[in-house]
Amino acid sequence: MSDTADKNWWRGAVIYQIYPRSYLDTNGDGIGDLPGIIDKLDYIAALGVDGIWISPFFTSPMADFGYDVADFCDVDPVFGTLDDFDRLIAKAHGLGLKVVIDQIYSHTSDQHAWFTASRADRSNAQADWYVWADPKPDGSPPTNWQSFFYGPAWTWDARRGQYYMHNFLPEQPDLNLWNPDVRAAILDTLRFWLDRGVDGVRLDAISHCLHDRDMRDNPPKPVQNPRKPGDMQDQIRTVGLPETAGLMTEIRSVLDEYPGRFAVGEIGGEDPLGQAVTYADPDTTLQTAYNFSFLFRKPLDPALIRDTIEDGLNRHPKGWPTQVFSNHDAVRAPSRWGDASSAFAIQLNALLLSLRGSVCLYQGEELGLPQADIPFEKLVDPEAIKNWPRTLGRDGARTPMPWVPDEEYAGFSAQEPWLPVDARHGPLSVALQEKDKASVLHWTRRLLTLRKAEPALKLGDIRFLDTDAPLLVFERINGDDHLVCAFNLAATRTPLPADITGDMLLGRINTRPARTLEPHGWAILRR
């Protein structure tokens, strides 16, 4: 069991996200596994992060690559065994790393035993464990609700003679979390993993957990160039219902049975921050909410950062966000914001690690990996295939981690991987960057060391200074300790104003000409 003396360890922590299918393959099947993560825990600890978040590794038919769970309390054989997970926990804790895992409570796989029972007939003990509804008189679906991926959120099931709801793929039926028995079963799942020693959970799609019980249609939403039908609806009947806060309170009550454990919620929908005010109160519900504001918006400019952070402070002053620039669902930040240079990748990590809140650092972000280019015939993501070429972010962000440059699959596997290795990633491999003290990897380690050493960066308040674009400047304040963080968000030189002074802690600043930030230059100073 991990040391839980500091109940608020998560506040300001940096969590390294691992997508296990793509981290390291140890058994030669082309798919990463839990032993691969164990093998690389020393590398992760040496980065200077506080913990790891492992994306789903549970029993699954892999229609959505693990986010369609067929058994919440077991490991899929492709990833290993429960014994492997226990070894992972033990080694991580021995290295001082916390372990956070995904939990998917809004839906299951259609191959879960619960769904098999529920679809059998309308009178069995689990008949009401999923969202079932009769068709309209003309046989059409009960509502106009659309799935997040594509097409209607309803699929006909002949055995029940009813439709079942799915916010995502048809293979991912939605649980009926209005049913107290379902909630109890989900909370037992949470206890199962807490008993095994996990330090926290990331709650996937948690704002999708409840649906409108009156089965009212979603109103239309005017939108230009929609990617899929769901974009044309204001999904107020299916996402972000206020009553979801009650479920968050129940989850928090279980977490509080285990000192030092926490939850971060993936809160989406039309107004994620508004939902976070209700769902993510560090005192009563989820300790922190996953900030979507930077994942899908561009361009990167001072207004995006300042407006987002200040909006959060104004609307949710008690909140503690978790900041992210990249993850397994979004185009990698260097490509999304249009610059694959190492200078830009270093600046992005410096900015991310200087913001107020906790941080999730996605695997490969410490290397500055750009989005991988996946040809259509190599795509495996059902959303990307269905909506090609409009939504290619998921496969391109999930390709294998490059460990060495001179092997066919960059040291990830001895066999052809489940997704191809981008040719641009080998030269950015860990082995090559280890040898280069000016690499993104070494700069990321310096930044993580600084953040851990400076309470103002980890826990302090944030205050933005009035400067003209492309300059972004803010202070991090902890008592009498004031740090100034300055970033040139342009690809041209930018003078640093004369009143921005202090002792250099870390940065990439040019003093010739005097006090000029180079393209994508930055500095962290102590006042």
Determine the 3-state secondary structure of 524 from DSSP. Answer: strand
* Whether the bond into 375 is cis, omega within 30 of 0: no
Q: Report the alpha-carbon angle 503-509-511, nearest 5.
A: 85
Q: Distance between terminal CA atoms of the chain?
A: 41
- For residues 420 and 418, give the distance between their C-alpha atoms in angstroms, rounded to a whole number: 7
Catalytic residues: 204, 257
- For residues 358 and 346, give the distance between their C-alpha atoms in angstroms, rounded to a whole number: 19
Dihedral sign for Cα 223, 226, 230, 235, please. Answer: negative
- For residues 8 and 262, give the distance between their C-alpha atoms in angstroms, rounded to a whole number: 8
Q: Label the pairing between strands 98-104 and 51-54.
A: parallel
- For residues 230 and 269, give the distance between their C-alpha atoms in angstroms, rounded to a whole number: 11
Q: Are 262 and 288 in contact (CB under 8 A)?
A: yes
Mapped to the 3 state alphabet, what secondary structure does 427-457 carry? HHCHHHHHCCCCCHHHHHHHHHHHHHHCHHH
Q: Are 319 and 277 in contact (CB under 8 A)?
A: yes
